[in-house]
Amino acid sequence: MPTSIHTQRPGRASASARVRPRGLAARLGFILLLCALLSLGQVRSPRAETFPLDFTTIRLGAAPRAVLVVGGIQGDEPGGFSAATLIATRYEIAEGAVWVVPNLNFPSIIRRSRGLHGDMNRKFARLAESDPEFATVRRIQELICHPEVGLVLNLHDGSGYYRPRHEDRLRNPARWGQSVIIDQDALGPDTFMGALAEEADAVAREANSRLIRPLHALHVHNTHTAAGDREMEKSLSYYAVRHGKAAFGLEASKEFPVELRAYYHLLMVEAFLKRAGVRFRRDFELTPAGVAGALRENLGVSFAGNRVFLPLEDARPAISYLPLPKNSPARAITSKPIMAVLPCEGKGDRLCVHYGNRTITLIRPDWREVDASLDAMTVQVDGREETVPFGSILDVREAATVRPRPGYRVNAIGMDCGKADESGIALRRKDFQPRFSVDRGARLFRVEVYKDKRFSGMFLLRFGGGGATARRAPLPDRPGPETSLGF
Ligand SMILES: [Zn+2]
């Protein structure tokens, strides 16, 4: 039976003592999962042949006119899809509407490839029905043509720095980085934001007031597509223009690390939103450091209806013998729309957790029947008693003791007291072998509960006080083109 793994968006984990993806059901209302089924093609495992990876449309705000922001049309341009992900997850729209597709070419994002089936951004003029991406392109075309969409922003990462005149190898008219791209000067006079050149100029000017270095200056690049640019004719933005919608290509530079690319994308997108009359709030600071932090935060995945939740900001490269439901699709819920859980290529039964272009951890599942008779355990923690739901994190200063429950067996992973059931025993950090922790910092340990051989649920103990678990975050540690690093 094919395993289908959908990625969706839980809310941000709260910073309280117990953390779990919050408000998931409510937030799913914002998500329109478009049913363009994509095949990952070569994925093979005993459990699955193909894996649908649909793109996600996240609708923020409510208004008769929406701004459509698209990221990830090419899978190797993380600045664009990371920025779009931040808009989808960290912005609140107070006035107006923003629809975000952060992961248009999701299979290519996961594979760190420009395109698994050629360049998707050249498929908007003509496309054979036999093309593996036909359904995806049709769905995004429908979205672009949706009567409520009034402005289309397509986020890219381009090489070098576009300059209208040749300056040097990296700064010349053949480069695409750091530019606002338009297909022509203007659309009809009645078109919303149809004065494309003026709008692009104004946006570039505003973004240029916050450059990190003068070298990064943004320029407007008019490709004069209708005058015979055979390549740009096939692009998503020209498709929008042909259908009477104002559309812009936004390019950050591949010379930058991902957070700087996303920083410039967000500067441009915010300038466009303001000009489109959208009012918004963002819950992080718009600086390269603020963007880097926001990209590192809230990485998590849950399984089995949140009976298993793993925070992954500081995950070990592998998590072994994680109990996951047997005989039912291993549905994973991820905290970000550019995350996916898929069988690892060539590694049989293992699951890889992907975040954009990177694989952040590998899971070796222990496939189990699920027992649904219990949702929480009672735990004595640092002298007080707590009900601890499965899928949550319990902060522990000194010790936690799971109260015994007849018929159930507790297994604290990495702690061996010689008994089959580890309930009723004070669990302290020093009792755990560090290599069994979920995190690299050896603070997070799994407590699993079983009924006979069936798995009931799991929660985590977090030793050493609250606060960030992101000791070593999954972002590149040096700047540069993403080809070697993924990000
Ligand atoms: Zn691109």
- Residue 164 sits in the same domain as residue 241: yes
Domain total of the chain:
2
Whose tokens are 């580890």? That residue is 422
Kindly state the helix (H) or strand (E) to which residue 107 belongs, with its residue range.
Answer: helix 106-110
Domain presence at residue 415: yes
For residue 89, how far is its CA from the centre of ligand 1 (angstroms)? 22
For residue 231, how far is its CA from the centre of ligand 1 (angstroms)? 13
For residue 286, how far is its CA from the centre of ligand 1 (angstroms)? 23
Q: How is residue 69 written in tokens?
A: 């922001």
For residue 324, how far is its CA from the centre of ligand 1 (angstroms)? 37
What is the crossing angle of helices 78-90 and 258-275, to 10°?
A: 60
Domain presence at residue 475: no
- Residue 247 sits in the same domain as residue 123: yes
Domain that holds residue 236: 34-296
For residue 146, how far is its CA from the centre of ligand 1 (angstroms)? 23
- Residue 312 sits in the same domain as residue 433: yes
For residue 65, how far is its CA from the centre of ligand 1 (angstroms)? 26
Domain final residue pick, 296, 329, 347 = 296
Whose tokens are 């392109």? That residue is 137
- Residue 288 sits in the same domain as residue 368: no
Domain presence at residue 445: yes
User: pLDDT digit of tens for each residue in the chain (487 aa)?
Assistant: 333 333 333 333 333 333 334 343 333 333 322 222 222 322 333 343 344 688 999 999 999 999 999 999 999 999 999 999 999 999 999 999 999 999 999 999 998 889 999 999 999 999 999 999 999 999 999 999 999 999 999 999 999 999 999 999 999 999 999 999 999 999 999 999 999 999 999 999 999 999 999 999 999 999 999 999 898 999 999 999 999 999 999 999 999 999 999 999 999 999 999 999 999 999 999 999 999 999 999 999 999 999 999 999 999 999 999 999 986 655 789 999 999 999 998 877 899 999 999 999 999 999 999 999 999 999 999 999 999 999 999 999 999 999 999 999 999 999 988 889 999 999 999 999 999 999 999 999 999 999 999 999 999 999 986 544 433 333 332 222 332 222 2
The pTM score is: 0.83
- Give, as one character, the DSSP assignment of residue 18: S
Q: Kindly give the pairing relationship between strand 179-182 and strand 246-253.
A: antiparallel
For residue 156, how far is its CA from the centre of ligand 1 (angstroms)? 4
For residue 158, how far is its CA from the centre of ligand 1 (angstroms)? 6
- Residue 231 sits in the same domain as residue 336: no
| Residues 155, 251, 158, 283, CA torsion sign | negative
For residue 72, how far is its CA from the centre of ligand 1 (angstroms)? 8
- Residue 285 sits in the same domain as residue 311: no
For residue 13, how far is its CA from the centre of ligand 1 (angstroms)? 32
Domain presence at residue 21: no
- Residue 68 sits in the same domain as residue 187: yes
For residue 148, how far is its CA from the centre of ligand 1 (angstroms)? 25
For residue 195, how far is its CA from the centre of ligand 1 (angstroms)? 23
Per-residue model confidence (pLDDT) at position 393: 96
For residue 262, how far is its CA from the centre of ligand 1 (angstroms)? 14
Domain presence at residue 401: yes
For residue 159, how far is its CA from the centre of ligand 1 (angstroms)? 9
For residue 182, how far is its CA from the centre of ligand 1 (angstroms)? 14
Per-residue model confidence (pLDDT) at position 182: 97
d(CA 289, CA 147): 38
Q: Kindly give the pairing relationship between strand 300-303 and strand 332-334.
A: antiparallel
For residue 237, how far is its CA from the centre of ligand 1 (angstroms)? 11
- Residue 219 sits in the same domain as residue 79: yes
For residue 465, how far is its CA from the centre of ligand 1 (angstroms)? 43
Domain final residue pick, 296, 314, 345 = 296
d(CA 43, CA 433): 35
**What residues have CB less than 8 Å from 343, skipping those under 6 apart?**
3, 43, 44, 45, 47, 48, 51, 349, 350, 351, 352
Domain presence at residue 420: yes
Domain presence at residue 450: yes
For residue 174, how far is its CA from the centre of ligand 1 (angstroms)? 14
- Residue 88 sits in the same domain as residue 166: yes
For residue 154, how far is its CA from the centre of ligand 1 (angstroms)? 9
- Residue 212 sits in the same domain as residue 272: yes
For residue 321, how far is its CA from the centre of ligand 1 (angstroms)? 39
For residue 276, how far is its CA from the centre of ligand 1 (angstroms)? 24
Task: Read off the amino acid at residue 254.
Answer: K
Q: How is residue 382 written in tokens?
A: 């640092």
Across 213-261, the runs of DSSP E, i.e. the strands, are: 219-222, 246-253
For residue 165, how far is its CA from the centre of ligand 1 (angstroms)? 21
For residue 77, how far is its CA from the centre of ligand 1 (angstroms)? 6
Per-residue model confidence (pLDDT) at position 318: 96
For residue 93, how far is its CA from the centre of ligand 1 (angstroms)? 27
d(CA 305, CA 319): 19
Domain presence at residue 2: no
- Residue 186 sits in the same domain as residue 321: no
For residue 445, how far is its CA from the centre of ligand 1 (angstroms)? 41
40 burial via Cβ count (<10 Å: 0-12, 13-18, 19+): buried
For residue 157, how far is its CA from the centre of ligand 1 (angstroms)? 5
For residue 243, how far is its CA from the centre of ligand 1 (angstroms)? 21
* CA-closest candidate to residue 98, choices 257, 279, 325: 279
For residue 114, how far is its CA from the centre of ligand 1 (angstroms)? 8
Per-residue model confidence (pLDDT) at position 52: 65
- 100 and 114 in contact (C-beta within 8 Å)? no
Domain final residue pick, 279, 296, 313 = 296
d(CA 22, CA 40): 30
Q: What is the DSSP string of 135-169?
A: HHHHHHHHHHH-TTEEEEEEEEEESSEE-SS--SS
- Residue 279 sits in the same domain as residue 369: no
**What residues have CB less than 8 Å from 485, skipping those under 6 apart?**
476, 478
* CA-closest candidate to residue 6, choices 359, 334, 408: 334
For residue 171, how far is its CA from the centre of ligand 1 (angstroms)? 18
For residue 459, how far is its CA from the centre of ligand 1 (angstroms)? 41
| Residues 197, 199, 204, 209, CA torsion sign | positive
CATH of the domain at 115: 3.40.630.10
d(CA 395, CA 124): 51
